[in-house]
Structure 1
Amino acid sequence: MAESWTERRTIPINETRQAASSRDVRATQRRSVDRVCGQVMAGLAGGAVLLVAAIVIALLARAWPIVCAQPLEELLLGRTWRPLQGAFGFWPFIVGTLWVTTLAMVIAVPLCMLCAIYLAEYAPSVMQRAVRPLVDLLAGIPSVVYGLWGVMTLVPLIREHVGPWIDRRVGHVPFFSTAANPSGYGVLASGIVLAVMVFPIIVSVMEEVLRSVPDGLREATLALGVTRWIMVRQVLLRRVRPGIVAAVVLGFSRAFGETMAVLMVVG
Structure 2
Amino acid sequence: MKERADIHKSIFFGIAGITAILVFVIIGFLIYAAAPVLETSGIGFITNSVWNYDTNQYGIFIFLIDTIIVTALTLALAIPFGLLTAMYLAEWAPAWMEKIIRPIVELLVGIPSVVYGLFGVLILSTVFMDFLNPTVDHLLGFIPIFRNIHPNFHQGLFLSAAILAIMVIPTIVALSQEAMRGVSSEYREASIALGATQWETMRNVILPCAFPGIVTAVVLAMMRAMGETMAIVMLLGNTPIIPSSIFDVGYTMTAKILNDILYYVASPQPRAAIFGIAVVLFFMEMLAVAGVRLICSWAQRRS
Residue 242 of structure 1, CA deviation? 1.5
My pick for the range that moved more, 254-263 or 120-129, is: 254-263
Which of 125, 130, 140 aligns to 1:170? It is 140
**Cα offsets for 1:38-84 (capped at 9, x unmatched):** 223222222222222222222222222222333x2321122222335
Q: Give 3-state SS (helix, strand or coil) of 2:146's partner.
A: coil
Select 1:55's aligned residue among 26, 30, 52.
26
Alignment of 1:58-137 (within 5 A): 58-70=29-41, 72-137=42-107
58 and 224 in structure 1: CA distance in 2 versus 1, 3 angstrom threshold: closer
* Greater displacement, 256-265 / 49-58: 49-58
TM-score, with length taken from structure 1: 0.82
Higher relative contact order structure (alpha carbons within 8 Å, sequence separation ≥ 6): 2
Alignment-derived partner of residue 208 in structure 2? 238
Residue in structure 1 matched with residue 228 of structure 2 by the alignment: 258
The 2-side partners of 1:61 and 1:215 are apart by: 51
**In structure 1, how many angstroms separate the alpha carbons of the residues matched to 2:61 and 2:214?**
31
Contact 2:137 2:148 in 1 (8 A): yes
The 3 A distance-change label for structure 1 pair 112 and 87 is: same
Tell me if 1:193 matches 2:163.
Answer: yes
Residue 117 of structure 2 corresponds to residue 147 of structure 1? yes
**Contact 2:77–2:162 at 8 Å: present in 1 too?**
yes
Larger Rg: 1
- Which one-letter code corresponds to 2:103 in the other structure? P
Indicate the RMSD between aligned Cα atoms, in angstroms.
Answer: 1.8
Which whole-Å CA distance do the structure 1 matches of 2:36 and 2:132 have between them? 46
- The corresponding residue for 1:184 is 154
Query: Number of residues paired by the alignment?
Result: 237
Q: Is the 8 A contact 2:117 2:234 kept in 1?
A: yes
Deviates more, 1:196-205 or 1:148-157: 148-157
Unaligned runs of 5+ in 1: 1-26
- Percent of residue pairs bearing the same amino acid type: 38
Kept in 1: contact 2:129–2:151 (CA 8 A): no
Give the letter aligned to residue 40 of structure 1.
I
Q: Which amino acid aligns with 2:126?
A: P
Contact residue 163 and residue 184 of structure 1 kept, 8 A: no
Measured in 2, the distance between the counterparts of 1:175 and 1:182 equals 17
Unaligned 5+ segments in structure 2 are 238-303
Structure-1 residue corresponding to 2:15: 44
Q: Is the 8 A contact 1:163 1:182 kept in 2?
A: no
**1:215 — aligned with what?**
185
